Amino acid sequence: MSETITIALAQLNQRVGDLTANADAMLAWRDKALAQDSSLDLIVYPELQLVGYPPEDLVLKPIFIKRARQELDRMAKASKNGPAMLVGSVFFDDGALYNGIALLSDGEITDIRYKYELPNYGTFDEKRLFKSGPLPEPIPFKGLKIGVPICEDIWFPSVCKHLKSQGADIVIAPHGSPYEIDKDDQRQRDIVSARIAENNLPMIFLNRVGGQDELVFDGCSFVLNADGRAAHILPDWEEHLRITHWTKDDNGWTCAMGKQCTWDEHPADIYNAMIIGLRDYVNRNGFPGVVLGLSGGIDSALSAAVAVDALGADRVWCVMLPSRYTGDESLKDAAGCADMLGCKLDTITIKPAIDAFDAMLSECFTGQEPDTTEENIQSRTRGLALMALSNKFGHMLLTTGNKSEMAVGYATIYGDMAGGYSVLKDAYKLTVFALSRWRNANKPSLGLGPDGPVMPINIIEKPPSAELRPDQKDSDSLPPYEDLDAILYTLVEEEGSVEDLVTRGFDRTVVERIERLLYIAEYKRRQAPPGVKLGSRNFGRDRRYPITNAFRSS
């Protein structure tokens, strides 16, 4: 057996479905790694890097599977000269589809292993698409045995235990693990450390970076030796190449110590997740920039700040759409925010359109008192104007609603919900406040925006209001956000009940009302744009409730 081996880890972004570009990128990173270390033996890529993750129903198209294999074969030929590659892709074998990994070496596909544990919860739907492979055997490579559990395979003991029993020397775990708050620590502290303690084998955890629709991948790859100590910690959020050097002694294989990067603390990680999600969504779908309504409120101010940090001020177009109820304070705050961000701000009054709707509907509305109907007309008029700008100039319309509002239906369908993406979709109102305060005092590591504050302090400190009627405040119809968010977190993230919250001291009547609002707003959320997943139960892929639903927990 060789006493040394050199392995490169390529923590990469991806583009789902762009097979040729993904293959070309992997080959380019292979050349880059070889230029750094001519003794390189192997380079490893994240899960399903060739096809992109998650590919969803793309894998059900036979032509997609055929072309993926053609690209894999092309990469295999490229392995004739230079280091071997571990490449994740989809495989069609004996009438079934598999999520797998292939070793490309000496110009051929020398070994293929399939994923055993298929996740089928939250954002994952793999059992719908793939067949579970057998317990994978180690891959022989240059005299040693490499265990290659794929992502979910390490989240349970069985696969790593089997690899150990079959003589694996080291474990390489390619991942497509999406970002969630606190998940980076969980992977290293709880999952990988547990597998190492059980099997006394060193492990490479390799994850991807970048945004894919509602998912964001944070990287945070690392190498732990068999004693549980970190040998390498790769950065979060950024593509990164890391060369690792391994030696064998009487105690087995050990990775030489390397650089240990520091990952974002809260709430910097949340903010960077928003940046990456929006940046990749806008750029990969070919938009020249984004347009959004800037109201002078905190949600639109934070959305504008994230957009500027993601895309640059020159690609963010803010529009103030005042009505008769818009206060001078809001006009001043919106102008101040746009000035601090350095982005374009136009003002388009909606009063002529509202007057026209009043005249159009006056006969049908005779004898009816003004109510939320008139409020919704204002919101829909704003949405109509913003969509017109989007259609005319090509900028994607960015919506600005937060998770607290979407949970209880305090958003107007075809109004402020109209748009292509929402960076605050999975951010509760208190998170919005925390992120706004943090961004005013810090510049995110990935940010393209200004170094200093990005919004007037008054935006953060004034009582939130939709300004759809005189002297309106959010607190007129909702409990304080400290209470509302706590209630919603229990009902949504924890799937708790009314009784759970009453036991914790919340008023039963208030909780029952919030639960009812949560359930009846499901039809709105089904029609909401995608947005960055931050927590464990986002409205979308994580939480799939029926629209017609008579259940109440009280």
- Annotated catalytic residues are 47, 115, 151
Q: What's the sign of the alpha-carbon dihedral 74, 77, 83, 89? A: positive
b/e map of 101-133 (b: 16 or more CB within 10 Å)? Answer: bbbbbeeebbbbbbbbbbeeebbbbbeebbbeb
DSSP letters, 345-388, are EEE---HHHHHHHHHHHTTTTTTPPP-HHHHHHHHHHHHHHHHH
Q: Which helix (DSSP H) or strand (DSSP E) does residue 193 occupy?
A: helix 193-199
The β-bridge relationship of strands 222-224 and 215-218 is unpaired
CB 488 within 8 A of CB 495: no
Closest CA to 394 of 285, 287, 281, 315: 287
Structure tokens at 4: 């040394």
**CA gap 394, 389 in Å, rounded:** 8
The strand order across the sheet containing 203-206 reads 139-141, 144-147, 170-174, 203-206, 222-224, 230-233
Give 196's contacts (C-beta < 8 A, 6+ positions apart).
202, 203, 224, 226, 228
Give 328's contacts (C-beta < 8 A, 6+ positions apart).
none
**CA gap 554, 549 in Å, rounded:** 14
Closest CA to 372 of 413, 417, 401, 329: 413
Structure tokens at 249: 């002694």
Closest CA to 14 of 228, 284, 271, 244: 284
- Ramachandran region of residue 331, left (φ > 0), alpha (ψ -120 to 50) or beta? alpha
